[in-house]
Each structure stands twice: as C-alpha cells, then as structure tokens.
Structure 1
C-alpha cells in the first residue's frame, strides 16, 4: 500500500538575512504568516494593504523539521511532492538541493529516499522575490509585454507564472507574495503506484456505455502486477501488466449497462459513477484509486446559420442555454478558502438556477473540491487557462514551463464531467487589437508579438490538449466574437463593457446581444455590515479615500452614481446609497439577462461578471467577500428561472415574451393585471397558452393606450403571472416609468419574528405597495430565503433567515428598508 506523510506541521519562516525564525502555517502564504505574527497590519482594513507591499521585494525562507520512521524508509520509492509552490523556490532536504521551481500552477516532485534518514529531517525552502526575478526576465526580453491591470510602472507579471490578480486588478489591491500554497507530503510505495486514471467514454447509447480507462503507472522495478477496474463492489474488467521502472500507460476497456447520464442543473440529475482502479502484486492489493465521474457528451456547436455562426453547447444531444457567472477566488489568499465556503457558493449557484461557471484566467486553477461540487450540482465549467489581459513571451523556456503547467492541470481535471471547455486566455487577443498594445509594443515588433501569441495559444496549448484531453472543445481566447476585425455580434463569445462609458444608457444591453455573452456586468457596493469590517464611520462616503481604495476601478463610483440617479431619487444617506447601488446593479443585469434570454436561440449563453469577491470591496459581484448576498443574488433565481416572463413597453404596445428552458412542453395560464398602489385592479387579461420546449415566444401584445388611458402610471404596476395547474411557473412586476417617478406610498410594513430550528421565521404584511423590501441583519453571515422583493398591497410574505454563526437572532438584530425609506425628507 502507498504511504503518505503530510508535512504540514512545525514550519517556521523568516526574511532572508534575518536571524529570528517565526511560526508559519502550511498550506499558507508569506502575507498571512506575517499577519499572524503581527509583522504587518490587516491588509484588508482601510488602506493598510499599502503597508504590506514591501513584502514583494524580499526573499523568504521556510523550514520544517519532521520525523521519518524505519517503516517508511523500507519503501522502494519515496517522493517529496509539492502540490503548489509560489513561485520561484530552491528546495533542499538535509542540506542537499533536491528541487528548483518556477511555476505556482505546477505539481513538483523529487525522489528523496536516498536523502532521508530515520529520525529528524530538515526541509528548507528559499523563495526568491517574484518581482525581482520577474525584473531579471524583463531585462532580457526583446519585446515590451503589455499588462494593463498590473499596478506598477514595471510590468513583470507576464514572465511570472503565478496569480495575475495579485499584481493588482481593478477590483483588488497589489499584494505579491510567496509560500507553500497547497499541500506538501512524502509518498512512499513498493512495486508500483497509480499516478493517474483517465476515464474516457468511447461510445455511449441508451443500452450501454463502452468506456476506456487510461492508467498511468509508476514502477519501482520490473515485475508483474494485476490491474482491475471496479464499479462500486463489482469488478468490470482486468488485465495482467508487466511493470518496468518509471512511468508507463495501460488501457482497460469495460462496459456499463444502461448508463445514467450526467445532466446540467435544471435538465435532470447530475448522475455520478464511482469507478476504482486496483493494482495488486502477488495476490495482495498494492493501491486503489477511485474516480468520481459522469457519462455525458458536451459539444461546442459553431455552425453557419442565418445570423452568422452559432456558438452554443449541446449536452447529451440537447442544445442548452448557459446561465451563470464568472468565478473569481473566494479569498485573495487561496489557502484560506474553506470547504464550507466552496459549498455555500456552489449551492448558491445551483439555487439561483445556474448551470455554468467560467473560471476566469486571471486567477488560479481551482481546488479539486470546487470541481467535485460542480460535478454534484450539475454546474458546467468554462475553464480558462491562467492567462489574462497581458501579452506573454514565447521563448523555449517559457513554453516548456507552460506545457508542464497545462499537462498537470488537464490531467488533474479531465475526469470531471463539469468541465465543458478549455479556453486559452481572457481578453488577450482583444487587448492586442483594441487596447493600444500595438503602439506600446512598437511597430517594428508587432508581428513578432503576434507570432508569439499564436505560438502559445494556437500551437503549444492545443498540442498538450491533443495528447491529454482531445475530446473537449478548446478556444484560444475569450472573447472570440472577432478574428481580425472589430468585435461583432454574429459569431463567437462576446464581452460587453461599453456600459462603462459615460454616455452609454442601460438600454445598450438590449442592442448588444451576441451569440454567447461570456462577460458583462455592473458595479455595486457591498452590504453595510461588510463595509463595517473594512472601514470606519468617517469613511462612509463613496468619495472617501477608503471607499475608493476598496472600489479600485477608475470611474467605478461615477458609473454607479450616474445610472443610479437616472433610475432612483437621490439617496438620503450612505446606507441608502449602498442599498440603491445594489438595486441598480440588479436592474442592469436584469436588463442584460432578459435581452440575452429573449434572443434565444440566436444567443445561447449569459455569464455575468462576477459571482464573488476575493477581498471586501465594491465590485461587480453578487456575493460579497463575507458571503452576504447582494440584491442581484436574490433576484437571479427569477432571472435564471426555467420559465421567465419578459415584459416590455414602448409608445405603441405592451408586449410579454415568455422564455422556457424546460425540456418539455407546458400548458399554462397567463394572467395580466394592471394594479394601482392601493391594490385596485384597473385592467386584466387571461388566456391559455401552450409553450414548446426551449423556446422564446411573444405571448401577449396589446396597444398601450388601451391599457393606460386615463391611468396615472406613477401609481401603477403591471402584474403578470404564469401558472400550470395552480403551480406558479413565473411572476413579474413591470413599471412603465423609472422608479424615481413612482409615487410610492408608505407601505406600513408589519413584521413578526419567530425563532425556528433553521434560524428565524419572519412574517411580513403590508397595507400599501412596498418597493424592494430589504431585510438587513446585524449578525454576520445571515442569508434569507428571499430579499429585496416587491410586495403588493395586502400581501403577506414569509421569509426565513438562516444564521451561520448563531442558532437564534434577537428581533433587534433586524431592520427593514424599502425604496421609499431612501428618500430625502
């Protein structure tokens, strides 16, 4: 049997040249180790990250003493394995150099049996400054490599294979560090070990799935072994293998009768199979490796059609509209992300009716547990490789380093049914053509720079994929809605960011719908409870230095304020501004998502930027750093619902479009009512309709004057409901004027609070129309079954509050806010 000895205890660290060693945490990072030892202030509080940036220019040393027993040393082979070293490191064991590393994203191994001894051993790691090392590569470079987001005059990030956002991004600070960021351990084995197993469906029908297991073995010496493949407790196939020293690949084919398919969220169960590979020597089990995987097909369909070239995913033969978000790491420092955080975030996606996340290329390849959760939840993953918003070199050393990086991560992730597509980079091709990079590079070097781009993304990465995962689709860059011409809406995936410009209205979302919208977004401020974690009351002003530092993007505050004042009345105080900013974000994304879904099947995907935050800030996220939902996260359950009502009105007509992502036809009742803020029905309409699977269809068109003549629209709302056998499929409220023009009454909300096993039950009643009822809670990490909702006159609503850190919340912990409460008196 393989024996594993984790080396996560007894670590100490110091700045190179210092005498004193300080306790360290592994996995960890130098910044968090300095923080826990009181050597730097909390970089997330106010602007204290500025006092931590000196760390990037220093070299650091980490050391660990560990004990090895005789039983471990009797193993034929012993490897020292680092799942992640950040980034440039020299590793020695008992004063003997064993490893040099240069890439945060790679797994690093060294055979160390001959260097180990019974009893105490000493592991020493010398980390070189990634900035200083990057500067050495920069001085040798023959080209200028633009890197827009790097917050430094000297752009070294293109040369350093580590997390790009840590060099500074528009939504986070610059904190470049180093450390042992993923597990480190000794692996000892006799005879042979199973390195990797690749499960490849060769052919799948309703009756049977023929599957091939590609097994990479590493032998300690020549000999004979027996390999077998198991499904649960049943052996499916096996073969005898002649082992040799080193790596070798074996294949075993097996059959699963009447296979159950893996389906994305909303279309069926994400069924997973546990397949085990066992290697035995002389009738005893040497090792068992178990893989959880699913049986499904995913195709990226790009075919000429009436509008250009399609861009959609076909899963198990069915075209699927992708609904979801762009994923950024849940913490600036990866080792701090807990399994509970991962689960809460993926559960939030599933509950919001998402079926895809895009793992963005400016971060890192996620933890295995993230992909396991996506497998279980039916969340497909668009996986970027870790290149973003910069040009990159393509010399032999760099390309070989990248090859190993891609190989390591593709082999690690390829069994996950959630992985739908590999993508070479984020916005590099767009930046080359449209961000002024060619002027920065210089005319004589532009061709060479583009040749290097093609060498990396059109040759090197595809060659690795062809060898290790040829079945999945690959795109060199996102967006891909252009080749050498301007971005256009008739092919590829599209990033829409024109909204950030000064004179662009919210309605631009409706006229800029591509074939697949893989990025678009709108900023908002996090909950006041979150702001209190990183700011003082004196900072509670959007224009304060602290608020701007935690907002980051030039023009971000102006974007929010400009659109907010077009839709809402001026907020009376800071809390009202924060609340309205979230409503504005939700309205912006609602406009975009409805336009995308309404355009189905021409548009077949809508992934907003971004799901979450890596530090506490005002950003494009729907869930803030501390896990608090913004308005958009509550509303997405409706915006991404399987059946969606999309009302619209112009000077001539009222129109209602209904979009269905259901795989079956529905027979439903459509009810439309014009209601004033006192609850009086002014006009109504009712009809039966039959809606086919996967369609977007106009189901209601009426002259607007017939519905609004002699009606004061400042006091009126259109209520639309779609039901099937008394079951509510979709519901929507529509206003004919901006919210700032509505004459909202005092809703006189009455609230009752009752402790229950899961948290607090809240019963709300209102006598008048209530716009965007927000229930806030002063207790950290409180979520609600619903929030930021409208209430019709006389309506009663039950809301559950879930408290992560306490079992019961006092009534005084809650407060209720509506749009009317934000008005200046």
Structure 2
C-alpha cells in the first residue's frame, strides 16, 4: 500500500552564507523573522524595511533519502511559491512557476542533497512581461505575469510583502503497481436518492496488472474494474439526508472511501467527506432584468455574504484552528455565504472543511483580479493546469456552490481604459469565457460557473449593470454618501463596503510608542487605499462634525459611520427581496493590522460592523425605509416559518417625549418581506424627532432619524453603569444614540458581545464582556462612547 513520509524537518534557508533553520511549510519572511534577521513587517513602518526580501533569490535545502522496498518513490510538493528549480545533488528534477499547483517528481532509488532554489517573483514576472508585452492593471506591481497570490504584491488594504518558499506540505510517497492519481466525485440527489459517481484515474508502474476499485458511502458498497488508467464506480444511497446552508437545515456529511486493489492487495486509499445537495444558479430574465439567485435543494436564497481575503499575508501560518475561528465568527454573524476573492488563493482543505461543517456556502473565484492577464505561454498552460487540479481537489466539498472566473477584469476592460491600451492584445477573456467554463463543464458539471464579478452575462450590456447579474457598488465609497446605496436595486451585490480603522488595542500593538492621530506616520502607513483618509473624512462630514484633534472621538465615529453605511445598503437591498438576491460585504477579514473595510481586524478583533452584521443578517430584520409614498417599515423574514406580530410605532423627540404612538399588526410569509406603511401622523419632522419601531416581545427594533446627526440637537448623554456577572449594565437617563463599549480599551484580551445600541430614556442594556481581568464600573465608563451633541 502507498506509504507517505512527511518532509517537514531538517530544512535550512541559505542567507548570506549562513544556514538558518527553516519551517516547512513556511516562507522566507517567516523564517527570517524567526531567526531575528528582519523586524516584524506588521509593526510600524517595518514593511518598507523588508522590501528587499521579495527581490532576492532564496534557497532551501535538506537531505533526501528515497530508499524503499516499493517500486516507485515520488517527491510531492503540495505548494511552491512560486518560480523555483528543484535539484537533487545538483541534478535538475524540474522547474515550477505556479503557487496554485502541486508538483510530483520521480526520485525512485535516489538520495542526496535536495535543493529548492526560488527565483525572485519580481524577476520571474518581469521576464514574462518582457516576453508577452505590457498589460494594464489597477496597481503598478507585476502580479498578472506570475501565477501567484496577487495581493502579496500589495493591495488597497494589504502590505507589499512578496513571498517565496515551500508554503504547503512536502512528502515522499512510496508505492508499487499503481496509485490513485485523481478522483472526481460527482454527487447528485433526487427524490431521496443520493448518487455518487467516482471517476478514478490511476498511475501505473506495471502496465499489465489487473486493477479494481471498491468504494463505500452511507453503508453502500460498489466495485468497478480499471480499464487501462481509469474507471468509474457508481453508488446509489437511499434515504439520504440533505446538506443545507446554515439557517436552512442541518449539515450531514458522509464518509466516502475508495480503495485501489490488485487482486486482494490494497494499493492505495482515497478518503473524503461529501454532502448530498443540489445547487442551481437562476439567471433567467424577468421584468427587472436578469436574476442571479442561488437555489439550494430547491430553496431560493437571499445570500447573506462576506468577501474573504487571505487571513494572513503569509498564508502558510494560518492553521486549521484559525480558519475555524474566523469562519465561526462569520457564521455567528448570520453569514451564510463566503466569497473567496480572486486576488488570493485556493484555500486549504481546512477552510472548506470548516465551511462544510458550519453550513457556509462558498463562492470560489479563480485567482484573477483587477488586471489584464496575458493569455500567451507560459501562462496559458499554467492557468489550465491549476484550474484542472483545483476544481478536482475542491469538488468533494458540499459548501462549494459557485465557480467565478475573475474579480473585476471584465469590468476593467470596459471601463478602466484597458481596451484602448491593449490594442488587441490578449487580456484574459479567453480564460473567463473559454478555458475556465470548459474545465468546469468537463470536470465539475454539478456546479454553476459565472465568467466574473461583476458580470451582466453578456457584452450587449455593461458588465456592472445593476439590473443584470452581479454588481460591485464602489462609487458610493469613492465619491458619494452611503445614502447612494438606495439609488437602485441590484440583482446581486457582490461587493460594497466602507472603511474604518482597526480596534484600538490592535493599533496600539501595531504602532508601538506612536502618538496616534489620523495622519500620524504609522496610521498613514497602515492606510493603503488611495486617498483613504480623505474619503473617510468626507464620508464622516456628511453626517457629523469632524472631531479635529480628538483621536478617540475620530476612531469611534469612523466605526459608527462604517456600521451605518453597510446597514444602509443591506437594509435597503434585503427589503427588496426577491429582486435583490444577495449582498456580499467587502470584507470579512484582514491580513494584517490596517484601516480597511473589514468587519474583523488583522488581530482578529471584531469591529462594531461585525456586531451590526449580526443584526443585519439575522433571519428576521426590521428596517424603516423612505419610499415615494412615505415612510415604510419592512419586516424581512428569512426564516422557514411565517412571522406575525404587532409593531409598536413611536414618534419621539430627542428629549424623550413620545409625540405619537400606534400599534399595527403585520404578517410576513416564510422567506418573504412584509411592508407596513407608517401612518403619516407618526412620520418625524425636522431634526428634533425620530421614529422607533419595535416588534412587541421580539426584541427587534428599527430607528429612523430624518436629519443628519450634525443637525440633531442631542441632549448631553447621561447614563448609569453597573457591574453584573459577565459584563456591565447601562441604564439611560437621556437618549443615548449608538452606545459602544470598546472593551479592548479595558484589556487587550477583552471582547464585548454586542456593538452599537441606541437607548431611549429609562431603557437598559446588558453588555457581556469576556477576557476582562479586573472588572470595574468606573473603568468601564471610560470605554463607553456614544454620539454627542455638536459642539
């Protein structure tokens, strides 16, 4: 039977004549950091101090002994980043130029010094550019000329830390007669019957040996002969339990085992977990344009999504536990879809395993983002090879529901001046409309494919037409107020977002000793967006007076503005289901400490936006919306049961006086939205009034202020703070708008269980706090912030 031996120990990294200990899997930066050669690039402005690392060649070495009683031994690299040559005692085994692929070399009977020599990714990219010609991109770095994680070259939220190294496991595989080279599980369901077709490819060392495969799943066993180097075994499983997205049902997973046999001898075994579910993408035209609705097991979904970037700019140091923690945070926020963005990587099995178990749907971009990608060799062959490998690798995961060709490249060709600059040169269209859909159709026909995001489905329309397919809404952040989200109802919003700085404790760790200010040197270095601080300021001044000279107030208000901006979009679009069938917030996570659009910062701390997502993505949501007919309360019900109740509507002055009140019954069908017109006499007028809508007994609330905060004559907030087991209680004596406990200001390890909350006079809220070592009510008060009257 095949035997695998990890090659994780004994590696060294050559640096200026020294042999430094090397971690495999790992990368050059993490090895140099562990050896004390470079400072932590995440701190201060150290990123610039280590830029030289990405421009150098690097060599890894270890001793290899491949002796075995088996007929063949292979040296297998699951991931090499990126352009490398592999030598054994100076003899070339092969060359690589793709981070997104695995590699296998025959080393039968060999031994000696194994060397993996990495060329600078810059050198490789610039050599390819010299061969195929210049192509436009959103950034000046040459990431489109090498098959590598694009964002390691820097992004508008990420540092420029161009990595090299053996970033995924490496091992020796010893085998005889034959081994399993590839298994494609095609899983379908219908009328309670689950069908698994396992298409098997094998590699032989003995051509004449008769081979068979046996497979088991759900108590069903089947056998098939191998004809040459391939075969198919089919299993029909009765009464299967369906796998559902979180919130729609359970996530039963079935163990599949496939055994390769030569007579009675077991040669190799393949094991995975699968889930039985059917997925469709409804793109039919209708009265509103062209839809983009995910349908799982016949159930039409409003996708409550987040965009995912690599959780560390050095992805080799993201362990299984961290994936699970971050994805658990997503699930706890009500998220049911995670889009793996195209400037990153195909994630490790740990990521998809966690999504399978948590019921998180995965939208997988192929790794192309924000650039024109040449279609000539050597890139063309690499693109097809990586696509074929990763489509098959990820097929077993029921969480994976959509393949997407690229991020923003179809849009860029049309709108960013690329077409004129390219003058007929290739730019990637042949990948997105040719190679990739062909590969998916051939290998994974059970899943839908879309050519890109955004994409309207046809060149007859603008690629980012909100009425057709997927839409990216970035004009709002770049140029407008977030009220602009209400200008249209896209069919599916695949990207939108608003920036805010990371948590205070994250800033203190990342910028040690710095006097924090919005424009202090470290803060500016950890703001990568073009005119990011300018956009933050303009976005805030539309609603609040800018707090010049008060960093703490600036930090708080930026968090408020981020949460409100995202809420403005999601509340409006959810209230227009089923015309709008999903929102995917940019973005869930960060890869380092930075001011960004993330809901969870680079140290894993939740921003107020994270807690706001828990409200916005709950099965049931109340929102007040201004329509042509007047003020309307939308009761959004994504639950499986009808939602009935009584709405209590109150017109309230900022002094706490109730000027009008009414109770109105409502009924929202399952997976539907109910609209309730607010009586005209309850509509607030001017800056001194607002409307509160509550569902009696449900703890759900919507609040509508008709005026901007800078115009509202808020009373000076007054509230009492008391310690309770596991947290604090705040009791309001006046209107307290957007109260926030920044627990990390009390203790870097402290976390609060809720974000922004608005209290009317006499109302009380309990905020749970964990990780707080020395609870104290007066100290808690120093970490409580709320909206204050304009000075």
Aligned partner of 1:473 in structure 2 is: 448
Aligned residues: 784
Q: CA 1:53/1:223 → structure 2, altered by over 3 Å: closer, same or farther? A: same
* Partner of residue 124 from structure 1, selected from 115, 122, 126: 115
SS at match of 1:113: coil
Aligned partner of 1:777 in structure 2 is: 744
Check conservation: 1:223, 1:242, Cα contact below 8 A: no
Q: CA 1:754/1:433 → structure 2, altered by over 3 Å: closer, same or farther? A: same
C-alpha distance in structure 2 between counterparts of 1:66 and 1:798, whole Å: 60
C-alpha distance in structure 2 between counterparts of 1:538 and 1:609, whole Å: 29
Aligned partner of 1:718 in structure 2 is: 691
What TM-score do you get using the length of structure 2 for normalisation?
A: 0.94
Q: CA 1:109/1:576 → structure 2, altered by over 3 Å: closer, same or farther? A: same
Aligned partner of 1:563 in structure 2 is: 539
C-alpha distance in structure 2 between counterparts of 1:464 and 1:480, whole Å: 19
C-alpha distance in structure 1 between counterparts of 2:125 and 2:440, whole Å: 28
Q: CA deviation at 1:4?
A: 1.6
Q: CA 1:140/1:286 → structure 2, altered by over 3 Å: closer, same or farther? A: closer
Q: CA deviation at 1:218?
A: 3.0
**Match status 1:191 vs 2:157:** no
C-alpha distance in structure 2 between counterparts of 1:299 and 1:355, whole Å: 16
SS at match of 1:180: coil
Check conservation: 1:649, 1:736, Cα contact below 8 A: no
**Match status 1:59 vs 2:57:** yes
Q: CA 1:820/1:381 → structure 2, altered by over 3 Å: closer, same or farther? A: closer
Q: CA 1:818/1:798 → structure 2, altered by over 3 Å: closer, same or farther? A: closer
* Partner of residue 179 from structure 1, selected from 151, 159, 165: 165
| 1:396-407 correspondence to structure 2 within 5 Å | 396-407=377-388
Aligned partner of 2:199 in structure 1 is: 214
Aligned partner of 1:792 in structure 2 is: 760
SS at match of 1:168: coil
Q: CA 1:761/1:545 → structure 2, altered by over 3 Å: closer, same or farther? A: closer
Check conservation: 1:78, 1:111, Cα contact below 8 A: yes
C-alpha distance in structure 2 between counterparts of 1:583 and 1:177, whole Å: 36
**Match status 1:237 vs 2:192:** no
SS at match of 1:773: strand
Aligned partner of 2:708 in structure 1 is: 738
Check conservation: 1:539, 1:545, Cα contact below 8 A: no
C-alpha distance in structure 1 between counterparts of 2:774 and 2:347, whole Å: 35
| 1:54-453 correspondence to structure 2 within 5 Å | 54-65=52-63, 73-116=68-111, 121-141=112-132, 143-151=133-141, 156-206=142-192, 208-221=193-206, 222-231=208-217, 234=219, 236-239=220-223, 241-242=225-226, 248-283=229-264, 285-441=266-422, 446-449=423-426, 453=428
Aligned partner of 2:580 in structure 1 is: 603
| TM-align CA RMSD | 2.4
C-alpha distance in structure 2 between counterparts of 1:770 and 1:429, whole Å: 46
C-alpha distance in structure 2 between counterparts of 1:683 and 1:540, whole Å: 46
C-alpha distance in structure 1 between counterparts of 2:444 and 2:627, whole Å: 50
Q: CA deviation at 1:549?
A: 1.7
Q: After the TM superposition, which of the residue ranges 325-334 and 259-268 deviates more from structure 2?
A: 259-268
Aligned partner of 2:551 in structure 1 is: 574
Aligned partner of 1:461 in structure 2 is: 436
Q: Deviations over 1:297-349 (max 9, x none)?
A: 11111112111221111111121111111101111100121222211211111
What TM-score do you get using the length of structure 1 for normalisation?
A: 0.90
Q: CA deviation at 1:539?
A: 4.6
Q: After the TM superposition, which of the residue ranges 568-577 and 489-498 deviates more from structure 2?
A: 568-577
Q: After the TM superposition, which of the residue ranges 648-657 and 789-798 deviates more from structure 2?
A: 648-657
Check conservation: 2:651, 2:682, Cα contact below 8 A: no
Check conservation: 1:90, 1:100, Cα contact below 8 A: yes
SS at match of 2:755: coil
* Partner of residue 34 from structure 1, selected from 32, 57, 66: 32
**Match status 1:627 vs 2:604:** yes
Check conservation: 1:44, 1:616, Cα contact below 8 A: yes
Q: Deviations over 1:439-467 (max 9, x none)?
A: 433xxxx2333xx5332222222222222
* Structure 1: 5+ residue stretches without partners: none
C-alpha distance in structure 2 between counterparts of 1:809 and 1:74, whole Å: 62
Check conservation: 1:279, 1:286, Cα contact below 8 A: yes
Check conservation: 1:539, 1:546, Cα contact below 8 A: no
**Match status 1:540 vs 2:516:** yes
Q: CA deviation at 1:822?
A: 6.0
C-alpha distance in structure 2 between counterparts of 1:575 and 1:181, whole Å: 40
SS at match of 1:374: helix
Q: CA deviation at 1:243?
A: 7.4
C-alpha distance in structure 2 between counterparts of 1:527 and 1:566, whole Å: 23
